[in-house]
Structure 1
Amino acid sequence: MAKKDKYLVGLDIGSTKTCVLIAEVEGEAVKFLALGAAESKGLRKGLIVNLDSTVSSIRRAVEEAESVANVPVEEALVGVAGGHVRGVNSRGGIALGQRPRDIEREDVHRAVDAARNISLPEDREVLHVLPHEFIVDAQNGIRDAVGMVGQRLEVNVHLVTSSIAATQNLVTAANKAGILITDTVLEPLASAESCLTQDERDLGCCLLDIGGGTTELLVFGGGVVRHSSAVAIGGDHFTNDLAVGLRTPIPEAERLKRRHGCAASAFMQGNGAMFAHMLTDIIEPRAVELLSLIHDDLQRAGLDGQIPAGFVLAGGGARLHGLDELAEQSFHLPVRVAEPKGLADLPEQVAQPEYATVVGLVLCGAKTRRSAPQRTGNLVSKLKAMFAGAS
């Protein structure tokens, strides 16, 4: 294994913080080495609004991680999120000939390309193609069609699309910080890699990745992604509400939220001081609004009754006390706070919901590398990795 192939790096450029995680590949295992974090400056709701400030944040996080791991960061996988990301289900197919024949891997790629080929505005691109199932001569529910016999091959997929400019700005910022981006990954998809169990994916669950500017939704069912979207409320909205309501600076409002904040008065620990009740009175309406928007999104997608495994809360916003209990009360479904797993020697302080994405980015990189070591980052390797995750 080449020296640079011995390491994997995840880069999470969030609205609140920028994280860099360095891991070492040891056979089938991936070992945690170091985490670097810096306050994000230059982003709003997942979009870069000041390139130079974003580059500086990346450099600070990289320097911290490099100093601990004693490993230079040369390339990384970067997470993509924000209101510009959208998901849509699509179907495509190809004729295999007049007589039934064996289906080959190239046929699968052609069918997926047909499903991928949807009309998009010039400023948007396909970020992920996530297969649901293959259909061979009207027989559905097929996970891998290679080797089967038929005359027509179709595939249902979930397409994740993003703004070309928004994604390219992330890549440009990383490049200016001296990092080559090897792949771009939807952040909640990365978080799911580190947080969701296979049972949750199979039964049907919804991952809520609560970032600073937005909350990303990712719905699984039958082991595959069924729906992805975002709502325009994140942890920063709670902080801003406190800053306005208490007439206090943003840093102080953030400190108060973390130390005393609660999503609803019903879930305050003990009787609570009068000041804590005052904070909760400000926070609770926003928490209720967030959960209402999530419910409306799932209802529009026809999925509100298809997630019996409930919700998993990731991202820094998942740390708001009582939010999981309020969600459980609102949706009448199980709710838990994410605990990232999958890396050897992962410290307890990193196995927290706010690091779900950066841990997951490294795991996504490891999965893709194992699936197609010579073709990392291309459609073939991504497809193989997605099927491996759904099996």
Structure 2
Amino acid sequence: MEKVSISHDKSSPIVVGLDIGTTKICAIVGRRSKDNTVEILGIGKAESAGVTRGVVSNIDKTVQGITQAIEIAASQSNVEIRVVNVGIAGQHIKSLQHRGLITRRDLNREINRKDIEKLIEDMYNLVMPPGEEIIHVLPQEFTVDNEPGIKDPIGMAGVRLEANFHIISGQVTAVKNIVKCVTKANLESHDLILEPLASSEAVLTDEEKEAGVVLVDVGGGTTDLAIFHEGIIRHTAVIPFGGNSVTEDIREGCSVMRNIAEMLKTRFGSALAEENKDNEIVCVPGLRGRESKEISVKNLAYVIQARMEEIIEHVYYEIKTSGYEKKMIGGIV
């Protein structure tokens, strides 16, 4: 059977997503259908050994992981993968609010897409702190001739067009290293997408975004957060703690090897210590024939609970600082 080749053409029905995570690298191939849904054709996963807290720390190991994941996904889907949409996260990600405006000269012409693109383009030209670049500019709501709260001004008449924007920025070096890894794996990066935004597109409904909802994605190296209200992205954050932080706590707290700590977390771990019995014990083998070690399941849970409480406190802090704490009808997903 002949392999299908894909290009960066937006009309191409086949799209590829590449998630370069701290614990694993995942490639997914999907086909866009006419009713705007995506049929999954293939998934490839590989261990991620060159990424720390969402940021590339070893180019060669990351390239190796990308290549493995892409090969598996290409084999499953029978698609020759050349172009990918890459997710970006990491503790270097920042977000800010900004307001822009343009004064239109042609009064006989309705507001069109070009006017909005001009506003967005102006935001990309904002002066950022040294070493940072803008990744996304997301319009929130528009004001036309001092009439606020307009979600879509296209087709309206007006002279003064203003907009509130949610701007997401990241470190230039971190972004370049991701692109470099993708290029070294003989792929072309079509787009960089902030991972909490990509996750929200996958798991949140329009109704939830309208009601007000917090998306929390606890990954290996980071915890990603996105807040939506009235269908608009209001706040994003990347918290530099995740599942790997829990594993490290177990490794230090129980004095075991990292692979044993990961096994204890996944097989016997709990975030609520009170739900475990005092007499539950796990016996782990000693190193190279040394005496085995007994670990209390309740103590293990206390270690996990402490870190998970810290992560949730960070999440709550971000929700409070966003100003939307009392408006989240949809709660946390």
Which amino acid letter does the alignment assign opposite residue 17 of structure 2? G
| Aligned match of 1:173 | 181
The answer to whether 1:302 aligns with 2:330 is no
For residue 233 of structure 1, give the secondary structure of its aligned residue in structure 2. coil
How far off is 1:157 after superposition? 1.1
The answer to whether 1:202 aligns with 2:235 is no
How far off is 1:207 after superposition? 0.7
TM-score normalised according to structure 2 size = 0.88
How far off is 1:17 after superposition? 0.4
The answer to whether 1:155 aligns with 2:163 is yes
Please, which runs of 5 or more residues in structure 1 have no aligned partner? Answer: 313-391
| Aligned match of 1:328 | none
| Mapped partners of 2:135, 2:14: distance in 1 | 24
| Aligned match of 2:293 | none
For residue 80 of structure 2, give the secondary structure of its aligned residue in structure 1. coil
Deviates most, 62-71 or 220-229: 62-71
| Mapped partners of 2:305, 2:226: distance in 1 | 24
Which amino acid letter does the alignment assign opposite residue 153 of structure 1? L
2:199 aligned residue (172, 191, 194): 191
Indicate how the Cα distance of structure 1 residues 272 and 301 shifts in structure 2: closer, same or farther if over 3 A, else same.
Answer: farther
The equivalences for 1:184-333 within 5 A come to 184-267=192-275, 273-274=280-281, 275-312=296-333
| Mapped partners of 1:188, 1:181: distance in 2 | 19
Q: Deviations over 1:108-163 (max 9, x none)?
A: 22223334443202421111111111110111121221221112000111011111
| Mapped partners of 1:104, 1:206: distance in 2 | 32
Indicate how the Cα distance of structure 1 residues 199 and 267 shifts in structure 2: closer, same or farther if over 3 A, else same.
Answer: farther
Q: Deviations over 1:47-98 (max 9, x none)?
A: 1111001111111111222222222221110000011111111110011249
| Mapped partners of 1:106, 1:278: distance in 2 | 60
Identity of aligned residues (%): 35
For residue 149 of structure 1, give the secondary structure of its aligned residue in structure 2. coil
Structure 1 stretches of at least 4 aligned residues deviating more than 4 Å after TM superposition: 98-101
| Mapped partners of 1:45, 1:74: distance in 2 | 27
| Aligned match of 2:68 | 60
Q: Contact 2:27–2:73 at 8 Å: present in 1 too?
A: yes
Count of residues in correspondence between the two structures: 310
| Mapped partners of 1:234, 1:133: distance in 2 | 33
| Mapped partners of 1:56, 1:3: distance in 2 | 22
1:23 aligned residue (30, 55, 67): 30
| Mapped partners of 1:240, 1:115: distance in 2 | 40
| Mapped partners of 2:198, 2:125: distance in 1 | 24
RMSD: 1.9
Q: Contact 2:46–2:68 at 8 Å: present in 1 too?
A: yes
| Aligned match of 2:19 | 12
How far off is 1:6 after superposition? 3.8
| Mapped partners of 2:193, 2:74: distance in 1 | 22
Which amino acid letter does the alignment assign opposite residue 96 of structure 2? V
| Mapped partners of 1:116, 1:305: distance in 2 | 32
| Mapped partners of 2:324, 2:81: distance in 1 | 41
1:104 aligned residue (102, 106, 112): 112
Higher share in strand? 2
| Aligned match of 2:132 | 124
Indicate how the Cα distance of structure 1 residues 258 and 272 shifts in structure 2: closer, same or farther if over 3 A, else same.
Answer: farther
Which amino acid letter does the alignment assign opposite residue 292 of structure 1? E
Which amino acid letter does the alignment assign opposite residue 158 of structure 2? G
Q: Contact 1:100–1:151 at 8 Å: present in 2 too?
A: no
Q: Which has the higher contact order (CA 8 A, sep 6+)?
A: 1
How far off is 1:99 after superposition? 5.6
| Mapped partners of 2:114, 2:275: distance in 1 | 55
Q: Contact 1:115–1:156 at 8 Å: present in 2 too?
A: no
For residue 170 of structure 2, give the secondary structure of its aligned residue in structure 1. strand
Q: Contact 2:278–2:298 at 8 Å: present in 1 too?
A: no
Q: Contact 1:112–1:155 at 8 Å: present in 2 too?
A: no
For residue 62 of structure 1, give the secondary structure of its aligned residue in structure 2. helix
The equivalences for 1:77-96 within 5 A come to 77-96=85-104
1:38 aligned residue (46, 67, 72): 46
Which amino acid letter does the alignment assign opposite residue 147 of structure 2? Q
